[in-house]
Amino acid sequence: MTTLKAVRGTRDLLPPETELWNHVEAIARRVFSRYNFGEIRTPVFEDTSLFARGVGEETDIVSKEMYTWEDRARAQSEKAQSLTLRPENTAGVVRAYIEHKLGETGLLQKLYSIGPQFRRERPQKGRYRQFWQIGAEVIGPPSAGSESPLRDAEVLQMLAAYLDELGIEGWRLEISSVGSAADRARYTAALREALAPVKHRMCEDNQRRAETNPLRVLDSKDENDQEIINALPNIADYLDEDSKAHFAAVLAALDRCGVRYHINPRLVRGLDYYTRTTFEFTHGGLSPQRASSPGAPILGAQNALLGGGRYDGLSEALGGPKAPGIGFAIGEDRLILTLQSQQQQSAPLADAFIAPLSADLNPAALELARELRRAGLRIELGDGAFRLKKSFEIANKLARKIVLLGEDELASGMLTVKDFASGEQVKVARGELANALGRVESVEIG
């Protein structure tokens, strides 16, 4: 019989690695709550047209990478529907904003999400077909201040605070502006014209992009095409005065609050819904265009930890009211890789291992474990069927201390406790046991 394994491009997350994942997500919830964000949970699949209209039919995501299927009708009165596993989450959040009429509150909606996304692309280090993202969106009517450059700066400040609290060292904020929809259209036309005489010298993907979505050429990591890409027109030369003023205001706010950044005019991001501010946080000190060089070993060919930008026309493109917004997506898989490269991860130990000295004492051991767990301690429960030597061997692997529970201990209420680190063995009154065992508050990731 063939051994079943996880599908290529997916994998199982197991302890102790999941402790680090939970830590990363807990820090995100804690930081985002300080900025008054609330959590939103949208379905993992949506109507295919949501992504075609929102992300863009000519993007690589929609044209090559989506998992799409025909959901057959269950009754004659029903119609078949094309459904897609979500390849990104912004379109779904904006769909929810429209569907639930959140704009009618007249307030900014500050929403974050944590969950899996799906893209059928070539797996590589830190990149999977089912991958996890931590994302957030700020969206609302213009009257609520959703167009303000202050919103952009606040989101970037929040991300800098998040990476710092996680302990990510050496992150780099790359920032640019793709201007208004009109600016972007002028720039796209200029790119198409500049690429026409040279595109035949580029890789097959970039030849196709030069025709269908020239902005995507600027995202290319193909080393052989970088000389051509670097000679292409600069987006800054195609911004109107309003777009220039908006970008300058974002940078001024970042300067004031001490968020360091690097202006990268090649960072335009190829999703159709982006306008004005776009950004990436990278790791390793390299710009995205040089991410495939030997200087970025941690994340392989991609060194971006997260990216995002403004999408002022997305709600209208999806049939909703005018609702400018800005958002981002953090590649959680890649964030974990970066943390693991900086810190030696170890399995978190239980506060104590309770070892009943006979099978008859198993119920009493379970009762004691309940008491300690109610006190907030992390407890591993042994079995009275184990020999004492085996209990010690297991306990030494799983816990900081072992608590021996025999007939004498049960009768006297004085428990025998041994600390594996110091080797010290003491008697502790049952009422004082929780305090004696102590409490490990933080996840052990190093």
CA distance 151 to 37: 13
| 244 shares its domain with 381 | no
* pLDDT per position as a tens digit, 81-134: 899 999 999 999 999 999 999 999 999 999 999 999 999 888 777 788 999 999
Mean pLDDT of 248-275: 87
| 369 shares its domain with 311 | no
| 172 shares its domain with 83 | yes
| 288 shares its domain with 385 | no
- The pair of structure tokens assigned to 243 is 């777009």
Q: What is the CATH number of the domain that holds 333?
A: 3.30.930.10
Does residue 30 fall inside a structural domain? yes
- The pair of structure tokens assigned to 83 is 């459904």
Does residue 192 fall inside a structural domain? no
| 171 shares its domain with 123 | yes
Q: What is the CATH number of the domain that holds 373?
A: 3.40.50.800
Q: 138-149: b or e for each residue (b if 16 or more CB lie within 10 Å)?
A: bbbbeebebbbb
Domain housing 92: 17-180+240-342
> Which of 321, 342, 363 is where one domain is finished?
342
* pLDDT per position as a tens digit, 271-296: 667 889 999 999 873 333 433 333 33
| 271 shares its domain with 393 | no
| 145 shares its domain with 287 | yes
Does residue 114 fall inside a structural domain? yes
Considering only 75-84, 240-249, 292-301, 334-343, which range has the smallest mean pLDDT?
Answer: 292-301
Rg (CA), the chain: 27
Q: What is the side-by-side order of every strand in the sheet holding 275-283?
A: 38-39, 109-118, 130-139, 325-331, 304-310, 275-283, 171-177, 262-263
pLDDT value of residue 370: 95
Does residue 189 fall inside a structural domain? no
Does residue 85 fall inside a structural domain? yes
| 334 shares its domain with 274 | yes
| 38 shares its domain with 152 | yes
| 336 shares its domain with 362 | no
Does residue 155 fall inside a structural domain? yes
44 has a pLDDT exceeding 80: yes
Helix (H) or strand (E) holding 47: strand 45-47
| 358 shares its domain with 338 | no
The per-residue pLDDT of the chain, averaged, comes to 87
176 has a pLDDT exceeding 90: yes
> Which of 313, 342, 371 is where one domain is finished?
342
> Which of 342, 374, 396 is where one domain is finished?
342
Please count the structural domains in the chain. 2
Does residue 218 fall inside a structural domain? no
SS3 241: helix
| 138 shares its domain with 246 | yes
Does residue 364 fall inside a structural domain? yes
